[in-house]
Structure 1
Amino acid sequence: MSPLSTTVPLFSIQPTFLDVIANVQSGNTQKDSFYISCFVSNKSVHGTVDVYRSGSEVVARGKDGFDVQVGNHKPTLTVSCPELNVSNVLIKSPKSQITVHNPNSIETFDISPQGELYVVGGPNGELSLSSITDDGAFTRSLDGHLTYITKVLFFPSGQVVLSAGGDMQIKLWSAADGSNPRTFLGHKRAVTDLAMISRGRNFLSASKDGTVKLWECGSGSLMHSFTNPLDIPIEPTTMAVSKRYDGISAAPSSPLEFETDDKLLTIGYDNGDIAIYGLSTKNVLASIPTKSVDSEISNIDVVDDRIFVARGKNSEIWDLRSLTVPLETISLPSPVVGMGASAVDSVAFATQIGTPVVFEDHKVSYYAAGFGDSTIIGVKNRSRSDGIYFAGKNGSIKRY
């Protein structure tokens, strides 16, 4: 069976386009306009959309290559760009927005599995934990990192948080009282990523020192250091833990390893290489070398046995269930800066240009508008009921 291949267009829309529609809907103005662009591979079309009232209805009229319709309820757009063979794509506004406390700038974020808390890390070691449901009435400042935060991660319980930074430290925090009962030391350069193993008695950290380390939380012990299979000086940029697709398992090598026997560890490197290990055996099961320049692995996310990998300057997203070749390739005209997958066959991603994309059942489901010019720094894809969260560098977190 040939692998699936999909080329996904990207859209860039004037940051205030929702305000333009709202102003016409409310009668504050009779007519206004906003710009819109569409990118497919190395081609692009740039146009404008006029918005005006016709009786009781709000009408959108696309110009310069676009056909546009405005939704009747919460602002949505249906857009076609015939010149690029793009038809009837849906652009949605956010369902809700989190007002981030201390929002000067954020580098990383996470949402608790229960959907009650969020944690954000900033460029100067700032780390704060807040509640979502009561608009941040519960807020804690977690002080201890010396420089920029690279990754934050909730434990499955939602009561404990891990953080990592450019100061080479990994810290464990209590969400209840903000205490820091343990700090994990051992990396020699900045930590680039964290990954949880099942309930969190073990976790993994990746670093620019070239290693991925396996830790035990209770004792703080370093259990193992993974180095790249070719033993060359490349840096792990991202990683993820997934279930083994073949059902093969092996007993953990230490009594301080928990639930590693049926897991895979997938690591992406700054040169585009990918390595897949059996987590309990520490053996390399697959090694996929880079085949092009500018192919850094930017993101890896997993759902059960599905491994999604984003790579390359002009990005591709791979579904790597076979471990050796992609079963599906999603091609984009801009590098991926954030990606999240969920168990409902959905992968959401944000790129350097354009609005974020939600991809379901092998096609674009919708585009997530409303960020304006803020750079997206992360994606959390939960479920259809909880929604998909995108976070902007300017401190905005929006749910779709």
Structure 2
Amino acid sequence: MPDSPVIFIQCDWDDFLRKTQGSLWVSLKKRGDSNNIHGKITNAGFDSNESPTFLATSGFSAEVLANDMIKVEHKQSQISAVFVAPTKVYTDIHKKSIPCLDVTTTGLCVSYCVENNLVVWDFNKEELKLKLEGHVGEVYKCKFFPSERVVLTGGGDMQLKIWCAETGRCPVSLKGHRRAVTDFVIIDVGRNVISVSKDGSAKLWDCGQSSCIDTLICTSSEVNCCAITSVSPSFPVGEPEDSPSEREIGTQNKILILGCEDGTVHSVAVYSRRKLFTLVLKSPVNSVAFLETTHETDVEKKFVVGCQNGELHMYGVTNPKELIGSLWELNSPVLHILPYKNIGFLVSHAEGSVYFLKNNLKEKLFSLTGPDCDPVFNMATDGRFVYTSCRDGVVRRYNLERVLNRLSQK
């Protein structure tokens, strides 16, 4: 996907739709180009269907697609963009920056605020349920196990902790890293987990016995992120040199990728501990994710890498040395990549941009709005909605299922 101009819009544009004679700003910008185009969209009133009538400057035009969706176009540049506003904004749970969160399908959210406030809360009732106390320092990641009754966290105190989401008890602490735990993945139902750390290692843990099964890989750089996927039996993952522990469950067909501060991406076959490949990029890697696209006869697997300089790179799992495509629209760091079903993935940036790309990296469907240039650190989905956590202390909810259905009708 070539780097093309990007349309930006005032973060509270959805409030403007309800105001007669209100106005908002829009801009068309291209990375590295100072000749930006700035315009204004004014609500001139409402028609017989109670839809706003727009007047726009600088060659822009606008069309309302739904209460939370607007399409803006710059005709001369042949560039258009769809913007999506949050359907729900949570301001009462946290008051400061929120580095991480996760949600369940049953209405629970776990989130961490830099006030040292790790909590479980009900996002339907907007009701605080539990405060999870035990970490010393910042929590880098929090996630529900597949059962949705247990929470896993990792943080600056070099520990992973397992919590009961119903009582707040923490019966298990996993210790062994020498520096902060930056990310982790849960294998299958969660008998084993893998963590990565600023100490450069990836460790495989047995949750039931609170012990480290093995160190999968040691790198020369801080590890910022990781992701895991299953591969087909024909994929050459190799065999282990030694008999694996009977406590190691479900690792036979798993491969792990790690993104590092020195710009490298490493992959290891979990069961055999075999190093699969190393990629060298020119900027620190902040987020990695596997993507799946279902075809008639098979499932195509790729992975996408998000970097500190704003670049996105996509590779195939079967041929990782061959670059499928890159996107570099913003100089702002990529902070998080969230796959959504088998359709596409969301990318969040440090200047507040969040956009949805299809799995081919060639189509940007829409952008999420709300933050006013504040970093969006983390995203989570329950399948229907997507939730974002931001430096402004706000959790925002977007109805992605309805947005995608609406766009498919256009």
Residue 215 (structure 1) shift: 0.6
What SS does structure 1 have at the residue aligned with 2:19? helix
**Contact map agreement 1:161 1:174 (CA 8 A) in 2:** yes
1:326 aligns with 2:323: yes
- 1:216 alignment counterpart: 206
1:60 pairs, out of 49, 54, 65, with 54
Could you give the per-residue CA deviations for residues 285-338 of structure 1, whole angstroms, max 9, x where no partner exists?
111123x3xx11111122453322112403123244332223233332232122
One of 355, 358, 377 as aligned partner of 2:356: 358
Once structures 1 and 2 are overlaid, which stretch shifts more, 161-170 or 259-268? 161-170
Cα distance in 1, alignment partners of residues 62 and 287 from structure 2: 33
Pick the aligned partner of 1:240 from 227, 232, 247.
227
Q: What is the CA distance between 1:98 and its match in structure 2?
A: 4.1
- Deviation of 1:352 (Å): 2.4
Q: 1:164–1:382: structure 2 CA closer, same or farther, 3 Å change rule? A: same
Distance 2:315 2:25 in 1: 34
Residues 1:21 and 2:17 aligned together: yes
SS class of match (1:212): strand
1:41 and 2:31 matched? yes
Cα gap change, 1:118 to 1:100, in 2 (>3 Å): farther
> In the TM superposition, what are the counterparts of 1:226-305 in structure 2 within 5 Å?
226-228=216-218, 232=220, 234-244=221-231, 246-248=234-236, 250=239, 253-290=244-281, 292=282, 295-303=283-291, 305=301
Written as runs of structure 1 = structure 2, the 5 A alignment for 1:72-87 is 73-82=66-75, 84-87=77-80
How far apart are the structure 2 equivalents of 1:256 and 1:55?
66
1:79–1:102 distance in 2 versus 1, CA, 3 Å: closer
Write the mapping of 1:91-170 to structure 2, written as runs, cut at 5 A: 91-99=83-91, 101-112=93-104, 114-136=105-127, 139-170=129-160
Aligned match of 1:206 in 196, 220, 230? Answer: 196
> In 2, Cα distance between the equivalents of 1:377 and 1:48?
29
CA distance in 2, matches of 1:303, 1:283: 22
When structure 1 is superposed on structure 2, of 350-359 and 196-205 the one drifting more is 350-359
1:248 is displaced (CA, Å) by 4.5
Which one of the candidate residues 49, 63, 80 is aligned to 1:69?
63
Alpha-carbon distance change, 95 to 319 in structure 1, aligned in 2, over 3 angstroms: farther
After TM superposition, give the deviation of residue 354 of structure 1 in Å: 5.2
Task: Give structure 2 stretches of 5+ with no counterpart.
Answer: 293-300, 400-410
- In 1, the alpha carbon distance for the partners of 2:41 and 2:159 equals 49
Distance 2:133 2:308 in 1: 35
Secondary structure of 1:64's counterpart equals coil
Q: CA deviation at 1:205?
A: 1.2
Change (3 A) 1:9 1:238: farther
- Tell me the CA shift for residue 227 of structure 1: 3.6
Percent identity over the alignment? 22
Q: Amino acid of the residue matched to residue 13 of structure 2?
A: F
Paired with 2:113 and 2:91, the residues of 1 have a C-alpha distance of 15
1:311 aligns to what?
307
| Length, aligned pairs only | 378
Give the CA deviation at 1:239. 0.4
Letter in 2 for 1:67: S
Contact 2:385 2:398 in 1 (8 A): yes
Partner residue, 1:28: none
- TM-aligned CA deviation for residue 75 of structure 1: 3.8
Listed one character per residue, the Cα deviations across residues 319-373 of structure 1 (whole Å, up to 9, x for unaligned) are: 4433222323333223212210123221111122353111125411111122334
Which residue in 1 is equivalent to 2:179? Answer: 189
1:76 shift after superposition: 2.2
* 8 Å Cα contact 2:86-2:396 kept in structure 1: no
CA distance in structure 2 between the partners assigned to 1:212 and 1:158 by the alignment = 25
Work out the CA distance in 2 between the residues paired with 1:306 and 1:206: 21
> How far apart, CA to CA, are the structure 2 residues paired with 1:223 and 1:41?
46
Give per-residue Cα distances to partners, 1:74-119, cap 9 Å, x unaligned.
14221112454413x211222334455233331111112x252110
Structure 1 residues 160 and 100: CA distance shift in structure 2, 3 A: farther
Change (3 A) 1:326 1:371: same
| Equivalent residue, structure 2, for 1:376 | 376
The answer to whether residue 168 in structure 2 is matched with residue 178 in structure 1 is yes
**How far apart are the structure 1 equivalents of 2:47 and 2:160?**
60
Q: Partner residue of 1:396?
A: 395
Deviating above 6 A after TM superposition, structure 1's stretches of 4 or more consecutive aligned residues are none
In terms of mean alpha carbon deviation, does 358-367 or 150-159 score higher?
Answer: 358-367
Structure 1: distance between partners of 2:30 and 2:352? 11
Residue 238 (structure 1) shift: 0.5
1:53 offset after TM fit, Å?
Answer: 0.5
In 1, distance between residues paired with 2:162 and 2:352? 35
Partners of 1:60 and 1:68 within 8 A in 2: yes
- For the residue of structure 2 that corresponds to 1:7, the secondary structure is coil
